[in-house]
Structure 1
């Protein structure tokens, strides 16, 4: 029975690979269905229009006044002109069919590649007893009032937790609250709030080697997403307080002494969010500050030393406009996986640097990781220096000003996270497309499957 199921899986893999290759060939063939000169311009016009649109958006961000208005008009007019050209030449249907075929080719190809499961990495789960004296900090303002809306305090207290609600009218030191709770005997710390608050309390839990509980009551809940929690039902996270909970060992990042569960950001974004006017008018403040920040007329000039200086994998990122250092790398090989971290226990930081000096280089960002303006690396340590004694840093969304240089590091396996054993899991992301491997699968899987067939009865 097992051999039969394995054969069926191999057959599905083979036909998915062949279907992907066939659809990709059909997508290319559609671009040559007519012999008219206009059909030859399909790809060049599409590529040029996309590049010009990105370049125009760069001008929108770096210019002011009438020039910015003209750039905005160009960014809107270019894609409209491309579509008009395709429609006028009766080629729009060719573009649509080709895109549909190409979309199917990518979907089928990733299905074929993912069926091998070679890309799947899961964090080991450990069964441990339920906590006896859990302590949870809840922010009633977080996520637009999710604590009250989902009855989080009531459910946590029914499950034996002691809950502290942060007072809206005054600032409370969550690190101090967590340290006092541990001194009083707490054997689990948890947070219902944003990622910044979670990071502070997680550092205390890691310091005392006790479990940490994430209740996804924030606005975006990136950390909860990468842990596979149900972000639509924050109350489900509290099931981890019972015997149904399991523990994961994951990494914890630090920018100097400041912990982060997601990332630390430097450069233009970190400067913009610390402007006093940003909270009241985010769009206007961003557009007002970006021209000088992106052209290095304002803000710090950064230098990032990635990896140990003199080491085999050391690298320097000079003068990036934006730099993101993350607790484990984000996916960069597939647009569908952007913003996700497949692993939280790889023991390395993810490093993403953006340096763009012109509209042409901005258009080059369409090449993704192959762009000269984009640097994607991993390292155990990143040291960020600048031409000034202090720089703005966004640590899990919290605005800080730190003395330079800022040393970012990762502590592998420092954090014990308790999660429900039954949870949705991390959203499935397919592996990156590898056309060479796909061709081999299409040609070889059929032969491979033969080796898995049961031997004839007379050979048994």
Structure 2
């Protein structure tokens, strides 16, 4: 114990010496700035504001904002709910700093560690992992917030240092559950022949004017990339697949490529037509998340324009599901994922809520409702009977293998990524949540993951709808999922 007290006394002496040196600094306008900055970071309001600014832009800035907010939540919990109760410490006396620097309302909780410093370091580190330039820009602000806690006399320097270490550690820990994206397009060894599309001549391009978070019409992007293309818009009275097939038939062989500007659901519909008619596909990412475009490696209008002008294309695998036992047999292609169970129900609830509420709150509320009221689904999977809560089928093998698959290293595996949550074991949902929190799904008995070329799902209790690429599909009681190698030629630089 004596060996421990000596270092602590040394820290205390160093803290007091640094506080006196800070208090001895002459009065300047920076005093008011630091006091205001310290107050603005109460309850992380400052970082929520920065996150809101970053989230306005899709892609990397939005991912940085989301990771930053997640890191703040973890750092605040560790610092305030664990650190302060376990390591109580008196704050510096108010007389330690000049009166003009003191906060009107001094905090009364334990001084150790600094929650403000933990949140500042967590947010900045997490943002920097996704968006280094933004992290570099925010870093001086975070350092100023951390120092302001000493400058205003509410924390010792060691409190600030400990808080910063907690924040950095928590930000790094987010990668345990949410791996960083590599930014590299998925690999494929499939070759594909595609004609040069000078200015989009002989191209039929479907544009979804309601794509994306803000419903921004991507028509001008299409006209910029492919000024000679024939542009069509979704007809609300018919299915996109039927509409495009009719357009191709009317043009009697004059269409040499299909183009699409929209989200994953729209892209999937056009991709299915391109595959069936053996036409190459050119795409402009214009949706909310653009998972497929990101994996393919088309991230902008410029990427799409260059690829079509050069005639550069690759072959990729597609997923296919044959549905039977409903109103009639049907077939759907999918570029990303398909699912049975809770997800289609969530989509239906979300679409109903979106008539009155924004998309993201509607999606969150729909997920909560669907999970609460979910019922076990008795099924026969490739001949074996079991009961599940939901089934996920990915086109290709996704990473990570645990919860929330987010990317695909390759689009030429000839495999489906099959995952399901068992409902035939006690407390399976609670055990699943615990495994997700502890990142131990690989050892969980209630969660299964396989890479398979084909999956035969037979429902043993009524009919259900399949969801493909976020869109609710046909009703049936038997679903045969297959991987179709090199089914689609797609333009890519």
Shorter-chain TM-score tier: 0.5 to 0.7
Q: Which residue of 1 aligns with 2:233?
A: 165
Higher Rg: 2
1:456 alignment partner in structure 2: none
Match of residue 264 from structure 1: 338
Is the alpha carbon distance of 1:136 and 1:104 closer, same or farther for their aligned partners in structure 2, counting shifts above 3 Å? closer
| 2:467 corresponds to | 394
Equivalent residues of 1:178, 1:189 under 8 A apart: no
In structure 2, C-alpha distance between the alignment counterparts of 1:198 and 1:258, rounded to whole Å: 13
For 1:81, the equivalent position in structure 2 comes to 81
Question: Which residue in the other structure is 1:52 paired with?
Answer: none
User: Does the Cα contact within 8 Å between 2:207 and 2:234 map onto a contact in 1?
Assistant: yes
Shift of 1:100: 5.1
- Structure 1: where are the runs of 5+ without partners? 1-32, 36-74, 108-113, 310-315, 422-460
Contact 2:187 2:411 in 1 (8 A): no
Instruction: Give the deviation of 1:136 after TM superposition.
Output: 0.7
**Mapping 1:8-407, distance limit 5 Å:** 80-88=80-88, 97=165, 121-123=187-189, 128-131=194-197, 133-143=202-212, 144-148=214-218, 151-158=220-227, 160-167=228-235, 170-183=236-249, 184-185=252-253, 186-230=255-299, 233-234=300-301, 236-242=303-309, 244-256=310-322, 257-275=331-349, 277-279=352-354, 280=356, 282=362, 283-293=364-374, 296=375, 301-303=377-379, 305=381, 309=383, 318-333=386-401, 338-355=405-422, 357=428, 359-365=430-436, 366=438, 367-407=440-480
Could you give the per-residue CA deviations for residues 82-112 of structure 1, whole angstroms, max 9, x where no partner exists?
34345438688679648857988999xxxxx
Q: CA deviation at 1:344?
A: 1.1
**1:271–1:393 CA contact under 8 A, matched in 2:** no
Structure 1 position 174, deviation (Å):
2.0
Residues 1:361 and 1:122: Cα distance change in structure 2 (over 3 Å)? closer
Deviation string 1:143-195 (CA, Å, 9 cap, x unpaired) is 234444x712422442x32111335xx33432233223433221111211222
Point out which structure has higher relative CO (alpha carbons under 8 A, 6+ apart).
1
Q: Is the 8 A contact 1:302 1:384 kept in 2?
A: no
Query: Cα gap change, 1:360/1:165 in structure 2, threshold over 3 Å: closer, same or farther?
Result: closer
> 2: distance between equivalents of 1:106 and 1:76?
11
Cα 1:220–1:284 shift into 2, 3 Å: closer
Note the residue ranges of structure 2 that are not aligned, 5 or more in a row: 6-73, 90-111, 114-158, 176-181, 323-330
* Secondary structure of the corresponding residue to residue 410 of structure 1: strand
3-state SS, counterpart of residue 137 of structure 1: strand
Q: TM-score, normalised by structure 1?
A: 0.60
Q: What displacement does 1:278 show?
A: 3.7
Number of residue-to-residue matches in the alignment:
319
Superposed CA RMSD: 3.8
Rounded to whole Å, the distance in 1 between the matches of 2:366 and 2:312 is: 44
Q: Distance in 2 between matches of 1:104 and 1:363?
A: 21
Given that residues 304 and 382 in structure 1 are in contact (C-alpha distance below 8 angstroms), is that contact kept between their aligned partners in structure 2? no
C-alpha distance in structure 1 between counterparts of 2:281 and 2:171, whole Å: 41
8 A contact 2:388–2:421 mirrored in 1: yes
Structure 1 residue 401: Cα displacement: 4.1
